[in-house]
Chain A
């Protein structure tokens, strides 16, 4: 089943890497915090999404099954 990107807002400090790595799914608000697309990660962006999750310096980004 397709996974979806979620951010733990209590851990996120607005580094902004995720928006650089997956701009198709993540943009930044005017304060630098991520706005995530409410859709599952499409096949072609799997790798970028997983990289964003691993690279987040705050470990705030997660790939979860839609609940």
Chain B
């Protein structure tokens, strides 16, 4: 079926016959190829999807994105069409930057996507640039030589065939937790350190080089590229009405395995994590993986949920927000029953404190103190003021940084204090239920030690 002869409805019209949309009977996978984690080269990509369906004018794709309900897949879930509109209306000569700097240690999905399906991301980058009228495009990725090499090769392939309208500059991100924060990205792209900045003016108004800047997560751009081809209704054929579409998740099972999974918004968490059957009280059946005591949803700025509660919930903000969690960038971690939840939380909080950019007084004063006290709570017989101190400091740092690092850390800590309350009480009596002290939550080997580590 071709659209070539009809008066083109630019919102729908591709420039060549449509191949069927990705995803088999289940509608999945969409972003990752059918044949598993095999990197897709440009020829395969073009053979499957054809060239990027440019519309020839800016703004044309924005109503499509609005209808699709696509929200950012970088964690904040901000409606994509609103960001596009804001950038278009903010001024001239906008800049578009794809954000592939996945600073979250527990998240692998952006790296996997860039490695396996870079051309979907790069298509999305070009189409988003066209939608806002940008002639300056960048891709922000961590300084991993292999991934950057792969991306440069992919870009070279595209240039050779001439499918990119705007050349893409690869921008180095330092290996910091906050490197992928929007204003940190803008600072880095401006040639400075990847430290967050004060939110006035916003990055979409004056970001890189003082120009309106659209920052979009790489997974969001991949969805963008598919929606531009197959339309909003196709995108909405999966997911829920309020949270449509599919998404990539990094799933950590209680037995230690770690996978990137493409799933649908609204999927029950117990379909993603081996949590056991809530109807049977979550006892680990013989031969199954270690039972989980708690689930971390949303990464290290997310929230803990008791396993029994998580087993009854779905991967959606509608279900998770009332419980204090949120979907975020799709990090799901099942904590095995044989570890100490509060010790794990203390380790991660110490990491989060050390990953502070050291700019805002409440953050670099409050987070280390919270981490110190959590360390105490993770040990025997903590000081009896410990809980009160943590609660006070949590209230003091929330909302008082330039970015959401203090807020996210506080959310993570508060949920731990709730979910692991019984364990904390036991520690106060000098006991701990966990037989294994081996760390479970993944953390990088080192953090920043000098200012140069932020460049």
Contact = CB atoms under 8 A, between A and B. Distances in A.
Interface stretch (B196-204, B332-340, B373-381): B196-204
Nearest to A14: B361
Contacts of B360: 9-10, 12, 33
Q: Which of A13, A31, A35 has the most CB of B within 10 A?
A: A31
Nearest to A11: B198
A52 to B, nearest CB: 17
Interface of B: 195-198, 200, 359-363, 365-366, 396, 400-402
Contacts of A31: 361-362, 365-366
Contacts of A9: 198, 359-363, 400-402
Interface of A: 6, 8-14, 29-33, 35, 62, 64, 67
Contacts of A67: 200
Contacts of A14: 361
Nearest to B360: A9
A31 B360 CA distance: 11
Q: Which of B197, B360, B361, B365 has the most CB of A within 10 A?
A: B361
Given A9-B360, A9-B362, A10-B360, A33 B198 contact: no
Contacts of B402: 8-10
Nearest to A33: B361
B396 A30 contact: yes
Contacts of B359: 9-10
Contact of B198 (A10, A30, A32): A10
Contacts of A12: 360-361
Nearest to B359: A10
Contact of A29 (B195, B196, B396): B396
A53 B196 CA distance: 22
B407 to A, nearest CB: 12
B367 to A, nearest CB: 12
Contacts of A64: 200
Shortest 6 CB-CB distances between A and B: which pairs? A9-B360, A33-B361, A8-B198, A10-B359, A31-B365, A10-B402
26 contacts: A6-B200, A8-B198, A9-B359, A9-B360, A9-B361, A9-B362, A9-B363, A9-B401, A10-B197, A10-B198, A10-B359, A10-B360, A12-B360, A29-B361, A29-B362, A29-B396, A30-B396, A31-B361, A31-B362, A31-B365, A31-B366, A32-B361, A33-B361, A33-B365, A35-B396, A64-B200
B202 to A, nearest CB: 8
A3 B200 CA distance: 14
Given A10-B402, A12-B360, 11 more contacts: A8-B200, A9-B400, A10-B197, A10-B198, A11-B198, A12-B361, A29-B361, A30-B396, A31-B365, A32-B361, A33-B362
A6 B365 CA distance: 20
